[in-house]
Structure 1
Amino acid sequence: MESIGPDTIDVWSWKLDTPPPDLGMSAALLSLDECIRTIRFVRDRDRQRFVAARTGMRIILGRYLGISPRSIGFDYGDNGKPSVQAYGAYPIHFNLSHSADLAVLAVSDRYELGIDIEEIRFLKEDIAKWFFSLREYQTLRSLPADSYMDGFYRCWTRKEAFIKAHGAGLSLPLDSFDVTFDRSSESRLERLEGDAGAPANWAVLELETPINFAGAVVASTGGRRVCLRYRDEDIGQLVNLASRM
């Protein structure tokens, strides 16, 4: 089993557009319910990316748990947040996000967490008005025009990562909390409705991404400062090894 510790959150990333031979080996590592889910995709590319994302996640979690990727079972909470079915006393917290051809996975053996990554694309309408809090929307509108897209996606990914870490899913109103996202401010949770102590208990961290993406990691650290440790192992090679297990 591989440990991480209280001061670190591991972040893995990998490409999802894998060649067909690798895809076949990947699919062999999935559970029955995951295989059934692949049938529901209309587009081949979406199906292939789903398989590559779930396979990568299984392989990585298997390394931390010291078990075969095939044998990992998942439970899903009332709001759909996944967790690994108990394996002894070893805790593992994780969260997966993917956008376009890129997947990212955050892993901790201490903290509940969430991760989000988004490909930066042109916005056809002012959706921030409907999905951000009033304070966030006002901050976004105050930014220079050439900083608007950057500000929007920094805010969006931090809010998505917080919702995933919090575990309440879509039952948590998007305007019930505020995050900072302008580059002059430290990354943090500013407000959570009904929980005055929340800002001190949550860490909000910006994710290093390719230039056309934005991302964030949020974790319930109880006020402990943590850093992100980027893991650069070749997921393709790990797939080949796992498929022979």
Structure 2
Amino acid sequence: MRPSLDRIGPNFIDIWRWNLDQTEREIDRLFPILSGEERARASRFVYPEHRQRFIAGRAGLRLVLGHYLHLPPHRIGLSCNVFGKPRIAGASELLQFNLSHSADVAMLAISDHYPVGIDVEAIKPLKEDIAEHFFSKRECEALAAFRGDDYLHAFYRCWTRKEAFVKAHGAGLSLPLDSFDVTVDATSRPKLESLDGDQDAPLNWSLFDLATPTGFAGTLAALTLGNAVHLRYWNDDVLTLKASVAHPAHNDPRPHQSGGNRASPA
């Protein structure tokens, strides 16, 4: 039987955020939600902190997907496309999703209309000139106008915008990071400026700055085909979601919405 799905619709993309640092008791509660393969992966982590964050991340993903699909989280089959992008096995056309995590923060994007990619990064000092190795010439020239902390934040804006686009595009490492340009400034809406071999890409793709905790940068990319889309942030405690229940819009919703391509604080 195919799972049912409560509609999100073409005007919204849902954003969920949760903390990966949980108590040992909570991790023990979440562990059975994972698949056998995920449990095996968890057991291979050397450091307990990495294992616990992995479990909290995958359990949160499954709980949110179960919330939309009306399925127990442990019954959701997850697979990857040929480039490694995760999808729902056997029902990938029902729900598009993408998960990112950095340090103790996880963020998940959900849509039933658009391919999505999300990237969140903890802002840390750079040990080398990463931009010169991975960014396009146009992006490097734009970054050269920044100094000090302004440069650091501009770098992470650029990095998360590029990573989110690569994840949404779905081609993985086969899409070179210097084959497309994104904006790097903070004063205008984020934008894909060009993509080699696709002159219509800037019109078809949308980038959104995410509302992230202090000390983090984040971007959502989506193939919106020119449609006006708003981000909808959900306040629900992800790790306490009940499986196989209605979409949160049916249960005392407390979302925060953002307009256009700019995110409002959650």
State the distance in 2 between where 1:150 and 1:240 align: 38
Q: Is 1:221 the equivalent of 2:224?
A: yes
Q: Residue 40 of structure 2 aligns with which residue?
A: 36
Contact kept? 2:69, 2:244, Cα under 8 Å: no
Q: Residue 18 of structure 2 aligns with which residue?
A: 14
Given candidates 21, 24, 27, the residue that maps to 1:23 is 27
Q: Residue 199 of structure 1 aligns with which residue?
A: 202
Between 1:185-194 and 1:94-103, the stretch displaced more is 185-194
Given candidates 69, 73, 78, the residue that maps to 2:73 is 69
State the distance in 2 between where 1:118 and 1:19 align: 23
What TM-score results when the alignment is normalised by the length of structure 1? 0.94
Q: Residue 82 of structure 2 aligns with which residue?
A: 78
Q: Residue 188 of structure 1 aligns with which residue?
A: 191
Q: Residue 129 of structure 1 aligns with which residue?
A: 132
Contact kept? 2:117, 2:221, Cα under 8 Å: yes
Q: Is 1:49 the equivalent of 2:53?
A: yes
Between 1:52-61 and 1:74-83, the stretch displaced more is 74-83
Question: Displacement, 1:25?
Answer: 1.2
| Counterpart amino acid of residue 132 in structure 2 | K
Question: Displacement, 1:2?
Answer: 2.6
Q: Residue 106 of structure 2 aligns with which residue?
A: 103
Deviating 4+ runs (over 6 angstroms): 239-242
Q: Mark the CA change 1:224 to 1:53 in structure 2 (over 3 Å): closer, same or farther.
A: same
What TM-score results when the alignment is normalised by the length of structure 2? 0.87
Q: Mark the CA change 1:129 to 1:90 in structure 2 (over 3 Å): closer, same or farther.
A: closer
Structure 1, residues 199-241: CA drift from partner, whole Å, max 9, x if none? Answer: 1000100000111000000000111121110011012322799
Structure 1, residues 170-198: CA drift from partner, whole Å, max 9, x if none? Answer: 11100000001212332110000001111
Secondary structure of the corresponding residue to residue 178 of structure 1: strand
Contact kept? 1:25, 1:239, Cα under 8 Å: no
Between 1:107-116 and 1:74-83, the stretch displaced more is 74-83
State the distance in 1 between where 2:137 and 2:93 align: 41
- Structure 2: segments with no counterpart, 5+ residues: 246-266
Aligned residues: 241
Secondary structure of the corresponding residue to residue 12 of structure 1: strand
Q: Spell out the pairing of 1:147-166 with structure 2 (5 A cutoff).
A: 147-166=150-169
State the distance in 2 between where 1:239 and 1:108 align: 20
Contact kept? 1:114, 1:165, Cα under 8 Å: yes
| Counterpart amino acid of residue 98 in structure 2 | N
Percent identity of the aligned residues?
50
State the distance in 2 between where 1:90 and 1:156 align: 28
- Structure 1: segments with no counterpart, 5+ residues: none
| Counterpart amino acid of residue 197 in structure 2 | G
